[in-house]
Amino acid sequence: MADENVKAAKPVKAPKLADPVKASIDIATQEMIARAHELGVETVYDRAENMKPCNIGAQGTCCKNCAMGPCRLPLPKAGIQGEDERKGLCGATANTIAARNFIRMIAGGASAHSDHGRSVAEVFLSAARKETDAYRIKDTVKLLEVAEALGVATKVEVDGKELDRDIDEIAVEVGEKAMNEWGKPEGELLYLKRAPAPLYEKWKKNGVLPRNIDREIVEIMHRTHIGVDQDFRNLMKQGTRAAIADGWGGSMLATDLQDILFGTPYPLQSEANLGIMKEDHVNIIVHGHEPVLSEMIVAVSQKPEIIEYAKQKGAKGIQLGGMCCTANEILQRHGIPTAGNFLQQELAIVTGACDAMVVDIQCIMQNVANVAKCFHTKLITTHPIAKMEQDNVIHIEFDEHYALEDAEKIIRIAIDNFENRKAEVMIPRHKSVQIAGFGVESVQYHLGGTFRGSYYTLNDNIINGRIRGIAGVVGCNNARTRHNQDHVTIVKELIKNDVIVLTTGCTAIACATAGLLTPESAGVYCGPGLAEVCETVGIPPVLHLGSCVDNSRILLAATEVVKAGGLGEDICDVPVAGSAPEWMSEKAISIGHYFVASGVYTVFGVTLPTSGAPVFHDYISKDLEKIYGGMWDVEPDPVKHAQLMIAHIDKKRKQLGIDKARERVLMDMADRQKLEV
């Protein structure tokens, strides 16, 4: 007989499933979310339906830096009336807590980029010393440029004559000097002098010149320990030092050394979206960030004997596809197609056609291991600092001294797995053409020309108003907002208003899948001025500059604009704005802050973890402009977000006295249109 005291068990609610159409604007993604539901596979989109973010954490006012807490200081619903008396147990104010959390995010982001840079520098040095056969110095022109920036002599005097120094010797010294930037005991980062002189002076005056990369990150951890720095302005000063050490240090070194080792990108054509996977090929998805591994996978996958091996196993060949920033790295140098961005990683496995997913570091969701369990996919981790606890994950530690052997081992695992595919293969058909591989050098070539060899033509078109300004739109996907919608809406709004867009990271992939990375898109989406420039020089209105460490290319491109003249003396004078529409990672905060500290007005979408501390928020969104010329802003609505950027660009045009030129150009266009009617 049933015990009357035992209450009837509550029925367990089934978890909610994401609505595919509400979850993404991309049809391939929608199809794969629906497919995951059919197969009973849970993805990030479903988890976002069932777990709400912590409101206090989202406001930036939860302090868990000691065991007396976590101390939670939510903003009262009615806002702050009178004095803000909120305090943690130690007395830390909401501003201190939000600033501590914010700069710890900078530390996380700066360390991720910079540690990636360090790994590349180690491989670079070992290639320069000829300790490995797999890597060689590829771009000697860039090597000489970087040597100059690092103060490495490129000439030698022999018998009173100045001669070119041995290139191998230069490479070794560049590698050693680069490695030194992470931990040198005194001085300042050598690359800081690449910034426009007024910007460098501003950093110097404000005491934020980074000493070395590691030290600035360590000092953040010290200052944010309980009972150390308790002034949000002073905390942000250290955040600024570390962010500059990322943008003008770790990230810039990563980009430069990668270009020297693997080649400086030049524009090329490829494709993007899950539809690049092929049912009759061995599909290998390469996911993560460091090209040190993916370059070898690309090289080995093209070897005739490996292709032959795939054919023996019944496949027609090998299809590589990139995911996240690894996608951008192997796209910009080899034209390898892009399978997707951050929120598409689980879905590549849901196709049932992913024979192996090879990952290294950063932005790899642990759930890819759970999704892989539902299919035949081999998930292979390769980096000693990034393993997974699930027992279906294979770890093959990648050693650059045996790079080709390791890459071959991984590819053979994928090929051997081809015959284990089950019936449930379903690859969406959708993919788009993309032109990628832009950089400081190619923008100079396309918009400056070989004769001028500068950014003169770009500047000229900004001054005459055909191009209203420049926007850097970068960053992640975030499951709290519709996949790719904000990226694409903001970028379309900008180019419609004649703002040329430089993009990297997952934004670049979103733009590629939406068809914005082709010269033809200029005629469809751009305002008349930008369309005219793009059509004349044959470039897309949205230029793909690579991965997230390649945001350093945007800093150098902005510096070239300043150098070419006519648009002020410093980056903060140029009609330029930054944006991260769907950001989610700590790296995005570090990037955002080095944009701000370099003089760029930078708008983030979704949310910013500062809303619980209004005084601190005002400091970074208003007061910083007086110090560095750039400042933060947040706007989740994509159209308003773009309009804020355009308003800032117009403000800069007015300050430069070139606002009238644009009115005239637009008047001419309107007049012309009237005549045509």
- Residue 367 or 547 having the CB closest to ligand BF8: 547
Q: Specify whether the backbone of 327 is left (phi greater than 0), alpha (psi in -120 to 50) or beta.
A: alpha
Dihedral sign (CA 500, 504, 509, 512)? positive
- Residue 88 or 321 having the CB closest to ligand BF8: 321
324 binds ligand BF8 (CB under 6 A): yes
Minimum distance from residue 507 beta carbon to ligand BF8 (Å)? 7
Minimum distance from residue 115 beta carbon to ligand BF8 (Å)? 13
Minimum distance from residue 475 beta carbon to ligand BF8 (Å)? 5
Q: Specify whether the backbone of 25 is left (phi greater than 0), alpha (psi in -120 to 50) or beta.
A: alpha
- Residue 190 or 580 having the CB closest to ligand BF8: 580
Q: Name the residue number minimizing CB distance to ligand BF8.
A: 476
- Residue 46 or 290 having the CB closest to ligand BF8: 290
- Distance, in Å, from the CA atom of 373 to the CA atom of 42, rounded to the nearest integer, reads 12
User: Binding string, 579-598, against ligand BF8, x = CB under 6 A?
Assistant: ------x-xx----------
Q: Segment 626-655, which members bind ligand BF8 (CB under 6 A)?
A: none
Q: Segment 49-68, which members bind ligand BF8 (CB under 6 A)?
A: none
Minimum distance from residue 546 beta carbon to ligand BF8 (Å)? 10
510 binds ligand BF8 (CB under 6 A): no
- Residue 189 or 580 having the CB closest to ligand BF8: 580
Q: Residue 192's closest CA among 515, 556, 459?
A: 556
- Residue 32 or 548 having the CB closest to ligand BF8: 548
E strands present in 385-474: 393-395, 432-436, 469-473
- Residue 517 or 548 having the CB closest to ligand BF8: 548
Q: Segment 388-447, which members bind ligand BF8 (CB under 6 A)?
A: none
Minimum distance from residue 588 beta carbon to ligand BF8 (Å)? 6
- Residue 369 or 510 having the CB closest to ligand BF8: 510
Name the token pair of 502.
Answer: 């430089």
Minimum distance from residue 548 beta carbon to ligand BF8 (Å)? 3
CB 540 within 8 A of CB 519: yes
Minimum distance from residue 310 beta carbon to ligand BF8 (Å)? 28
E strands present in 223-287: 268-272, 282-287
- Residue 377 or 478 having the CB closest to ligand BF8: 478
Minimum distance from residue 363 beta carbon to ligand BF8 (Å)? 3
Minimum distance from residue 359 beta carbon to ligand BF8 (Å)? 12
Minimum distance from residue 615 beta carbon to ligand BF8 (Å)? 29
Instruction: Determine which residue in the list 60, 352, 505, 630 makes contact with ligand BF8, applying CB under 6 A.
Output: 505
Minimum distance from residue 32 beta carbon to ligand BF8 (Å)? 18
Return the exposure string of 248-271: e unless at least 16 CB atoms fall within 10 Å of the residue's CB, then b.
bbbbbbbbbbbbbbbbbbebeebb
Minimum distance from residue 550 beta carbon to ligand BF8 (Å)? 10
Q: Residue 477's closest CA among 509, 518, 502?
A: 509
506 binds ligand BF8 (CB under 6 A): yes
Q: Segment 237-296, which members bind ligand BF8 (CB under 6 A)?
A: 289
- Distance, in Å, from the CA atom of 249 to the CA atom of 590, rounded to the nearest integer, reads 12
CB 578 within 8 A of CB 472: yes
Q: Segment 106-135, which members bind ligand BF8 (CB under 6 A)?
A: none
Tell me if the bond preceding 70 is cis, omega within 30° of 0. Answer: yes
E strands present in 360-395: 378-381, 393-395
What letter would DSSP give residue 192? G
For helices 291-301 and 304-312, angle between their N-to-C axes, nearest 10 degrees = 70
The DSSP bridge pattern shows strands 268-272 and 432-436 to be antiparallel
Q: How many residues does the chain have?
A: 677
CB 104 within 8 A of CB 224: yes
- Residue 377 or 585 having the CB closest to ligand BF8: 585
Under 8 Å CB-to-CB from 529, ≥6 apart: which residues? 461, 465, 466, 467, 468, 498, 662, 665, 666, 669
- Distance, in Å, from the CA atom of 114 to the CA atom of 289, rounded to the nearest integer, reads 12
Minimum distance from residue 275 beta carbon to ligand BF8 (Å)? 20
| Helix, strand, coil distribution of the chain in percent, nearest 5 | 50, 10, 35
- Residue 393 or 476 having the CB closest to ligand BF8: 476
* DSSP class per residue in 488-520: HHHHHHHHHTTEEEEE-HHHHHHHHHTT-SSTT
Q: Specify whether the backbone of 465 is left (phi greater than 0), alpha (psi in -120 to 50) or beta.
A: left
- Residue 342 or 455 having the CB closest to ligand BF8: 342
CB atoms within 10 A of CB 362: 21
User: Binding string, 72-101, against ligand BF8, x = CB under 6 A?
Assistant: ------------------------------
Instruction: Determine which residue in the list 94, 103, 363, 435 makes contact with ligand BF8, applying CB under 6 A.
Output: 363
Count residues binding ligand BF8 (CB under 6 A): 15
- Residue 171 or 591 having the CB closest to ligand BF8: 591
E strands present in 98-185: 155-158, 161-164
Helices (H) and strands (E) in the chain, counts: 29, 18
Minimum distance from residue 671 beta carbon to ligand BF8 (Å)? 43
Name the token pair of 484.
Answer: 């790719």
Q: Segment 445-484, which members bind ligand BF8 (CB under 6 A)?
A: 475-476
Name the token pair of 103.
Answer: 């700069």
Minimum distance from residue 477 beta carbon to ligand BF8 (Å)? 6
Instruction: Determine which residue in the list 253, 462, 548, 574 makes contact with ligand BF8, applying CB under 6 A.
Output: 548
- Residue 319 or 547 having the CB closest to ligand BF8: 547
Instruction: Determine which residue in the list 124, 232, 342, 594 makes contact with ligand BF8, applying CB under 6 A.
Output: 342
- Residue 238 or 478 having the CB closest to ligand BF8: 478
**List of residues contacting ligand BF8 (CB under 6 A):** 289, 324-325, 341-342, 363, 475-476, 505-506, 547-548, 585, 587-588
